Amino acid sequence: MRKLLVIGIGAGNPDHMTVQAIDGLNRADVLFIPDKGAKKNDLADLRRQICDRFVTNPKSRRVEFEVPVRAEPTSSYRTTVDDWHEAIAEIYEALIRGELAEDGRGAFLIWGDPSLYDSVLRILERVRLRGNVGFELEVIPGITAIQALAAAHATALNRIGDSVLVTTGRRLTEEGLPANAGSTVVMLDGKCAFNTLADKEVFIQWGAYLGTPDEIVISGRLGDVGAEIEKVREDARRRKGWIMDTYLLRKSGG
């Protein structure tokens, strides 16, 4: 039976690769490299650099594929995402059936960790449920942007006795900070949702392109640095054509 390895490759620094991840790459016959278009070519380039540096299996080959762009959410965010995932599932099924032998091994290189705000595992489950192609699945964890953010700011994620909430920019805008929030990590925020918070005493630790030579970090009281982060973020996005950032929020005191 075919085997698929879903490998976490870290938050952007090739040095984030674990020994387990490197071993997984070298067990694969085919390395699947997603291409998200010219504006995000850096993301495909990093995967190529990782393969160049760590893959020593002379029999492995790379297969690059285009990832469809997700439509802007309309009345239903979940429906929009569901349609997008279905389109990607069709591509994955074609790749698995067309590029892997019956006993072949393929590897998907996943930014960060496959379990955290990444949809590859859910999409592969869609493929499995279609029943057109069978495969075994092995997941190899990777360093997340959350870990890289905490390291960049030399901080612990939690305060003593406090919980840690991981959420998205969309949910932060809709719900604000929970009353019992200790530390809140916000990911997938394209619109600087932190600026919607009424409490400007909240402390923010923000980072973009974490672990890479382009890493940017800013921290401080939201009322003092919120506008600066928004400007720096937009300047960086315009310069590179894309941005990946995340941040940690803490209410004052405690």
Query: Whole-angstrom Cα distance, residue 107 to residue 129?
Result: 20
Query: Whole-angstrom Cα distance, residue 254 to residue 243?
Result: 32
**Residue that has been written with the tokens 């993301």 in this structure:** 43
pLDDT of res. 82: 82
For the segment 192-205, what is each residue's pLDDT rounded down to a tens digit? 999 999 999 999 99
Q: What fold is seen in the domain 2-143?
A: Cobalt-precorrin-4 Transmethylase; domain 1 (3.40.1010)
Query: Whole-angstrom Cα distance, residue 120 to residue 46?
Result: 18
| Residue extent(s) of CATH 3.40.1010.10 domains in the chain | 2-143
- Proportion of the chain above pLDDT 70, given as a percent: 93
For the segment 85-94, what is each residue's pLDDT rounded down to a tens digit? 899 999 999 9
pLDDT of res. 252: 78
pLDDT of res. 205: 98
| Residue extent(s) of CATH 3.30.950.10 domains in the chain | 146-250
pLDDT of res. 253: 66
Greatest mean pLDDT range, 31-35, 185-189, 210-214:
185-189
Adjacency order of strands within the sheet including 135-140: 61-66, 30-35, 105-110, 2-8, 135-140
CATH superfamily, domain at 146-250: Tetrapyrrole methylase, C-terminal domain (3.30.950.10)
* Mean pLDDT value across the chain: 92
For the segment 42-84, what is each residue's pLDDT rounded down to a tens digit? 778 889 999 999 999 999 999 999 888 765 655 556 677 888 8
**Percent helix / strand / coil, the chain, rounded to 5:** 40, 25, 35
